[in-house]
Amino acid sequence: MPKVSVIIPTYNCSSWLLEAIDSIFNQTFKDYELIVVDDGSTDDTQSRVKAIEDKGLQYFYKESAGLASARNFGIAKATGDFIAFLDCDLAKSTKTQI
């Protein structure tokens, strides 16, 4: 069982999602599972995530029901002692402010 379950809810943020995933993979702390919950994206999110070959990455697609629903779905799949959320559009919002 991992110590931390990192949950990334996403909706049509495929270009920023890969940056968010890479930021987790580049951490020195490695006792985690990474759960990506795709809340009904219509862009290329699914193909981009499925191209990543990492056993610690779990990808789930669900019908769009909003951020809270995606987070709750991720919590239900989590097996870690602790939960951490990372919004995939953080890079997007940071870059648009520059």
> Tokens 């709750």 correspond to what residue?
72
The ranges assigned to domains in the chain are: 4-91
Q: What is the pLDDT of residue 66?
A: 94
pTM above 0.85, yes or no: yes
pLDDT-based confidence at residue 98 (cuts at 50, 70, 90): very low
Q: With 0-12 CB in 10 A as exposed, 13-18 as middle and 19+ as buried, what is 37?
A: buried
Label residue 42 left, alpha or beta by phi (over 0 means left) and psi (-120 to 50 means alpha). alpha
4-91 has CATH 3.30.565.10 classification: no
Q: Give the SS3 label for residue 31.
A: coil
The pLDDT tens digits for 47-96 are 999 999 887 899 999 999 999 999 999 999 999 999 999 987 654 544 44
